Structures are given as structure tokens and as C-alpha cells.
Amino acid sequence: MILNGIITGLIMGGILSLPVLGVAVIYGITGIPNFAIGVIGVFGGFLTWYFLSFNMGIAILVGVVFCFAIGYIIQRILLTPISERGGDSTLFFIVTVSLGFVFEGLMRAIFPRPSISLALPRIGTINIAGVTVEGFKIFALLFALGTLVIIRLLEEHTEIGKSWQATSQNLKLAKLIGIKTNRVFSIASGIGCALACVGAIFWGSLYNLNLMTGWDLGFLGFIIAVVGGIGNIWGGIISALIMGMVMSFSGYLLGGMWQSVILYFIVILVLIVAPKGILGSERSL
């Protein structure tokens, strides 16, 4: 049971780490807490489901590209101008939650079904120390960890990554040396929303997606990022894996109803005891 719980927890945490990465990338670079990314990601998941009967690759691409574009546009026309006018975290909280309302409403209005499951091909099963695990779940976990490594490599070794770092560390200086900071912000927001979409696609394939999943993924993504130290990518991933295990074991021991209760309770405790998260935040809210 313990091994089963660990594996389930790691996989849950792995999938959750995608929206967490989205939150971390957006917040780490723009300094804006975006609470709508879960809903935008699930909107992308619904789009993928809609086009799935045509071609799987194109369907996934449509969802991910759409989310990137939405992330880019909302940052460009809404969030960056508010930030330039001196908007604080509370204002961004309200604006991004309102954006979430819009996308949740669009899902309700456009798509014929309120709850869907994405039928992606399965990869068979793998036996780990006597526990049979779906290959697709292992793929989801590896994909999440791979994405983290790619983002870290991008950040350290590419021009784009260096401009991200410069923008997040000193905005004025970054502008002075000619970095188009508004573009950097928009790309970061686009990547964050695209990551949330990939997370939603995995979630929709392993469990299901409904109109509220976006809020759950977004809020979970955000609180897990807070526990890890918001804006701190490594902290976010460690926190996602730990929280995945907390959900898995509390589910086994106390039943599914208590999963979220225990999770949120722990997060509130962390906020009270260590407000800057497990590994500390690279920015302060």
C-alpha cells in the first residue's frame, strides 16, 4: 500500500507540477499572480477534446497554441498595462479571477458537454516492485520533470532565458540595455498558460475535465507554488511532489473527501509558519 501510495502521489504531483510550473514561470518573470491559468489551461483541454476526432497531434497543438496565444494577449493588453499603472497583488488577484470567470463562461457557452474525458492512446503497463502502473502515467511524470529541465536549461543557456532572468531581477536595467520587457512578459505568460494546458490534457486523460477543474488546477497550482516559494521553480516541483503524496496518502487513509481538506490545511499551516515557502521565494508578494 505504501509503495502504491508513493507512486500515485508522485504521478499526481508530477501532473500538478505543470500548472505549478506555469504559475512559477509567470510569477517569477512578470511578478503577477495569475489565477486564471488553470481555467485557461482547461479551456485548451476542451479545445483539444473537440478536435481529437480529427487528429490527435493537431488537436493537442490547437489547445496548447491557443493557450499560449491567450496568455500572450492578456498579458499584453491587460496585465502589463495594469502593472505599469502600479497595480498591486490584490488587484491582479481580482482581475485574473474575473478573467477566469470569462473563460469558464465561454466553456459553458461553447462546448456541448460540461464534463469530458480525453481518450489519448495508452502505453501499456509497467511493473515497479510488484505494483502495476499505467505507462501513460509514468510518461506524464517524466514529461513534467523533462519540462522543468528544459525550462531550466533555457533559462541558463539561451538569450531568451537570460533576458527572462534580467527582466525578473531588475526591470529598469533590463529596459536600459534594450530588452523588450513587455515582449518577455507576454512570452512568459503565454508559456505559463501553455504549460497549464498540457497539465489539463494529462489530467483530462487520466481523470476528467469539467467546468470547475480549471479553478481546482489553478488554485492547487498556485498554492503548491506558494508552499514551494512562489516564483521558485525547484521549490514548486518539490512542493508539487510532496503535495501529490499528501493527497495520495490522505485519500488512502481517510477517504477521498478528506484529500483536499488535508492539503489546504497543510498549505495554510505552511503560510502561517513559513510565509515565503519551503525554499523561499525569489520574489516577494
Partner 1 sequence: MKGRYEKIGTILILLLPSLFVFKGGYLQEVTGYVYLFLIQGYVAWFLFFKSGQPFFGYSVTMAIGAYATIVLTEMFQWPLFVSIFIGAVLATVIAVIMFLSTSRARGFYVSMASFLLAILFPKLIEALQPITGGRSGLYFGGLTALVGYKTLYLLVIFLTAAIVAFFLWIMGTKTGRILTLISENDRLTQTVGLNTRKYKILAYSIAGFISGFGGALYVNYTGFISSVDIEVFTTLYIFFIPLIGGSKVFYGPVLGALFVILIPELLVPVERYLRIFFGLIFILVIVLLPEGLAPNIQKLLRKMNPKRA
The footprint of partner 1 (CB under 8 A) covers 33, 78, 82, 88-91, 93-95, 97-106, 108-109, 215, 219, 223, 226, 257-258, 260-261, 264-265, 267-268, 271-272, 275, 285
Grid coordinates representing 161 are 532565458
In the bound complex, what is the minimum distance in angstroms from residue 190's beta carbon to partner 1?
19
The number of residues in the chain equals 285
Beta bridge mates, 116: 209
In the bound complex, what is the minimum distance in angstroms from residue 186's beta carbon to partner 1?
18
Closest CB to partner 1 among residues 11, 226? 226
Closest CB to partner 1 among residues 54, 101? 101
Closest CB to partner 1 among residues 128, 268? 268
In the bound complex, what is the minimum distance in angstroms from residue 226's beta carbon to partner 1?
6
Alpha carbons within 13 angstroms on the beta-carbon side of residue 213 total 29
Closest CB to partner 1 among residues 176, 257? 257
Q: 3-state class of 45 per DSSP?
A: helix
In the bound complex, what is the minimum distance in angstroms from residue 273's beta carbon to partner 1?
8
Closest CB to partner 1 among residues 28, 141? 28
Q: How far is CA 209 from CA 7, 96, 97, 275, 280, in A?
A: 22, 21, 19, 31, 32
Task: Give me the residue label for grid cell 488553470.
Answer: 38
Closest CB to partner 1 among residues 109, 177? 109
In the bound complex, what is the minimum distance in angstroms from residue 276's beta carbon to partner 1?
8
Which H or E element spans position 210?
strand 209-210
Among residues 28, 27, 194, 53, the alpha carbon closest in space to that of 116 is found at 53
Residue 57 CB neighbours (<10 A): 8
In the bound complex, what is the minimum distance in angstroms from residue 137's beta carbon to partner 1?
25
DSSP track, 108-138: HHH-S-SEE---PPP--EEEETTEEEEHHHH
Task: Give me the residue label for grid cell 514551494.
Answer: 228
